[in-house]
Amino acid sequence: MTQEPKDRQPDHPQPSWLQRQWNKLSALSWRDVIIAQVGDGSKNIAVGKYIFQVNVGGRNLAIPLVWIAIALAVIVAVLTYPVVEPILFPGKMTGGFKIAVAEFGELDAQGNVQSSSFGSMLSHSVYDQLVGEYEEHYPDLLGDNAVSVQVWHDGLDRDEKNVRFSVIHGKTTGERAKNAQELAERINADLVIYGNVTVNDPEDLTLEFYYNSPTLRGEPDTVSGHHLLGRPIHLPLSYQKEPMLAIQWLNRPLGYRTRALFWVTVALTSDVLDERDQALAILQEAERQLQDWDESDGKEVLYYFIGRQAFGVREYDTAITAYNKAYELNPSYAYALQGLGAVYYDRAQLFFLPVELPPEVAQCAPTEDRSKASPTREAALADIELAIDYLHQSIDVAPQAPWPPVKHIAEYTLGLAYRLKGQAYLQVDDYAKAAPLFTNAQQQFDAVLQPFTEAKQTQYIGWTYLGMAATDQMQAILQFNQAGLLNDPVQAQQERQSSIPLLQQAVDNYQRCQNEAKEVSSIVFQKYVVTCGCSYYQKQAEAFKTQAEALIKEQ
């Protein structure tokens, strides 16, 4: 066998075939491959890494090509900006009260919503009527400043708004309401009006609106959410076959509802500006103006807002009358039942308000309204019972209501009512009656914490933690005081000791309340929840815990 000379033998063993294939494959991931084929007569050729040069006829065209690419990029940017701008920089409404009228959709049996020329005409008709009512009655209110009413619609020019609403999509009422809320938050609207016409028999029109108002003067605004404006309007003729005749026929029922919505928005504008008495007067004027409309046209909504506004100024009798009318018109109107419960609770809690309040709390307490409280202890307890009854009714009908989440607001208010009743018995040392009421209150607060968290309703989360903390504190006081009635010193000591974890739980919940309140930008909300609520009572709970621990050590 012929042997290679020593100087030609490799210093290292030759790689195997498998290793050579791996080396070839792995080299592809980092090596630069430059291939150039140059023919005879070629001139000014540059080939190399990071070199770009194109010569045609002896001229270098690299720089002109770069400028052409830049020009094309600019043209593409200009052409696509109208599409991209509303997504990246959606226009924001700036008025004192802001109304967006979305396009009405066509709703099929599967729950699909799509645009149609008929729905667009209906939407435009509502917009025109709404603006027309303002121009006739309150022309000075229209505008885009902090004390005006601003109305947007897809028919406006691009220089007025760059966002297109289109229809409110969603296969269910809840999904559509959520999308209406998202639109309201995206463009900073207070009210989104929308509706749908059913495609299949029977053909009817449903008019809806979403009121996006999480807080009002530092407290959760219970009216925030989805509302139906009357029962569906049944069309006596096919809008698909006779669209113009259908539009003409709808003018009357749609006109009544639009006029009602106009008065409601005028009142809400005054309410937002803290002119509450004027807002109530406007709604009462609307009731007088709208005598000729049918009960199915949404009168319960007007009466609900009258009740809400009267409750806001603590005109309890007016509020109760209006809420009852709303409930009589629509027995599934959970908002009205929740409102009745809140009225009776509020009147009772004024009675139990201490005569002298610490300065930290007095600045938030409604001491000027004490004269409107329940007149006696017996009357206050009776009002609490009515509150509990109406709130249970609201919870029962909420699943059939236009806005089922009102159930959670009713549950939260029910927790307050149970706690107030327990507090009333605690004041007279009736521990046997107070204890189960505090348990009921905690059950209600526990039930609403998760849905409020999932819905990111920070203001309600803060109030719920405040309710939970106050109930924990009262339960601890009850348990500590009840221990003093026991004859067995050892058992009494154990009962007192078991109140300490409750007090610590109260302290923790007061802190959670403050943490949630920080996420709400409202200065008034910060004042009511943190200064007058969580912060002050957390200090009280900590002080009582220190005293209780000291007394336990002494005994």
Q: Tell me if 209 sits within 8 A of 192, measured CB to CB.
A: yes
Give the per-residue pLDDT at 44. 52
Domain ranges of the chain: 55-88, 92-297, 456-555
For 392-404, how does the pLDDT look when each residue is reduced to its tens digit (9 = 90+)?
A: 999 999 998 878 8
| Long-range contacts of 273-279, Cβ-Cβ distance < 8 Å, separation of 24 or more | 273/96, 273/147, 274/217, 276/309, 276/312, 276/313, 277/313, 279/309, 279/312
Is residue 84 very low, low, confident or very high in pLDDT (cuts 50, 70, 90)? Answer: low
For residues 246 and 252, give the distance between their C-alpha atoms in angstroms, rounded to a whole number. 11
For 202-232, how does the pLDDT look when each residue is reduced to its tens digit (9 = 90+)?
A: 788 999 999 987 666 656 677 888 998 888 8
For residues 57 and 98, give the distance between their C-alpha atoms in angstroms, rounded to a whole number. 65
Is residue 25 very low, low, confident or very high in pLDDT (cuts 50, 70, 90)? Answer: very low
Give the per-residue pLDDT at 274. 82
User: Is-cis flag, bond preceding 331, omega within 30?
Assistant: no
For 445-503, how does the pLDDT look when each residue is reduced to its tens digit (9 = 90+)?
A: 999 999 999 988 888 899 999 999 999 999 999 999 988 888 888 888 888 898 999 99
- Whether the pLDDT of residue 83 is over 60: the answer is no
Q: Tell me if 202 sits within 8 A of 234, measured CB to CB.
A: yes
Calculate mean pLDDT across residues 178-190.
92
- For the whole prediction, is pTM greater than 0.75? yes
Percent of the chain's residues with pLDDT above 90: 45
Give the per-residue pLDDT at 1. 44
CA atoms in the 13 A half-sphere facing the CB of 381: 11
- Whether the pLDDT of residue 442 is over 50: the answer is yes
